[in-house]
Amino acid sequence: MAPSHDHTAPADSASDSAVRFSLEGVRVGFLTCIPVALGVAGYGVAFGVVANQAGLSVAEAALMSATVVAGASQLIAVELWADPLPVTAILVTTVAVNLRYSLMGAALERWFRHLSPAQVYGSLFLMADENWALTVRDLKTGSGRGAFLLGSGIAVWTFWVASTVLGVLAGGVIGDPARYGFDFILAAVFLALAADLWEGRSTFVPWLVALATALVASSVLPGRWYILLGGLAAAALEVIRYDA
Amino acid sequence: MREGWLSLDPFVVAVVLAMAVLTYLTKVGGLWVLSRLEVSDRLEAGLSVLPGAIVIAILGPELASGGPSEWAAGIVVLAIAWRTENILLALCGGILAVVAFRGLV
């Protein structure tokens, strides 16, 4: 963010400039992230089951988990999945849901400026909410472990892809979804996701706006555009009321 | 039905890879652009509510089209997710609940 001559916190910048990219950093990141990655695997199984119901094969779902590496946007994509594929809606929603990663990546800049482009842009591919949070926590201690994001990302990626495969295979065994209440899985996954994303009372008003917008839009507009409209209405409100 | 577990529809692969490229651009774009442009706190606040708001926008119409069984089971999911922070437990509880409530109604 600030140019290098503008360091206002000398102690901080001293430890930040000692950021290195080492195998040890990868190792610590990986091991620290294992318990968190187990939690990620819970979503992975759920994503696999839902992807199976949407008609994706094991290979297609695994490809998505391996290359996109962004849980909420993947779940929303398979929620939108239909024949023919609503490509524009899927891609626009993917970007909207993942825009937060731009902010998260920018927050790493003060440490990552000491790494090579290959190290930075390689690590960022594996950035997810969970390992980003762990990485920021680790770097803020002045550990200088520039490879922490990569190591923790490898843990998340491995569990995410493996649990996706498990979920699609389980979903394939289930058969008629409604008989066992499996038509409720998607709603249940999103409810759990909402519980995760809830940030206390500051979330209440934007969510209420998103809900109202989506309910109105879904009754007057075709397709699934109400999803994007609900999200954008909440974001717009947040921008407008920022001073208040 | 699907032809096989390993089948890869070229069109599906193209859509998935497009998702992957766009997601990667959001991941690296912040560090590349925002660190040079300086994003206002105001815009940052707006962007930060997007994921939760989109999840709510999906849930609203979906739950509205359900009935009392789905709503009650939804409360069960939320309660378990909140108490245990265990997604699999919440899902299993919710599914058992929806089957039970549908049997009652």
CB contact under 8 A, A106 and B18: no
pLDDT digits (tens, 9 = 90+) for B65-94: 999 999 999 999 999 999 988 877 888 899
CB contact under 8 A, A214 and B52: no
pLDDT (tens digit, 0 to 9) for every residue of chain A, 244 residues total?
A: 333 333 334 444 445 668 999 999 999 999 999 988 887 888 899 899 999 999 999 999 999 999 999 998 999 999 999 989 999 999 999 998 898 788 788 878 889 989 999 999 999 999 998 899 889 889 988 999 999 999 999 999 999 999 999 999 998 887 666 667 777 887 888 898 888 888 888 899 999 999 999 999 999 987 778 888 998 899 999 999 887 6
| pLDDT higher than threshold 70 for residue B34 | no
Q: Which of A57, A139, A165, A174 to mutate to test the interface with B (most CBs of B within 10 A)?
A: A57
Q: Give the pTM.
A: 0.79
Number of helices and strands (H, E) in chain B? 6, 0
CB contact under 8 A, B53 and A231: yes
DSSP letter at B40 equals -
Cα gap A32→A178, rounded to integer Å: 39
Task: Output the pLDDT for position A159.
Answer: 97
DSSP letter at B84 equals H
From chain A, the residues in CB contact with B19 under 8 A are: 64, 67-68, 73-74, 77, 90-91, 94
Task: Output the pLDDT for position A242.
Answer: 84
Cα gap A109→A105, rounded to integer Å: 7
Task: Output the pLDDT for position A212.
Answer: 97
Confidence grade of residue B40 (pLDDT, cut at 50, 70, 90): confident
- Of residues A8 and B54, the one with the higher pLDDT is B54
| pLDDT higher than threshold 60 for residue B12 | yes
Task: Output the pLDDT for position A21.
Answer: 96
* ipTM of model: 0.82
From chain A, the residues in CB contact with B24 under 8 A are: 124-125
From chain B, the residues in CB contact with A42 under 8 A are: 86-88, 91
**Around A221, how many Cα atoms within 13 Å sit in the side-chain half-sphere?**
15
Residue B81 vs residues A194, B37, B89, B93, B94: alpha-carbon distances, Å: 10, 39, 8, 10, 10
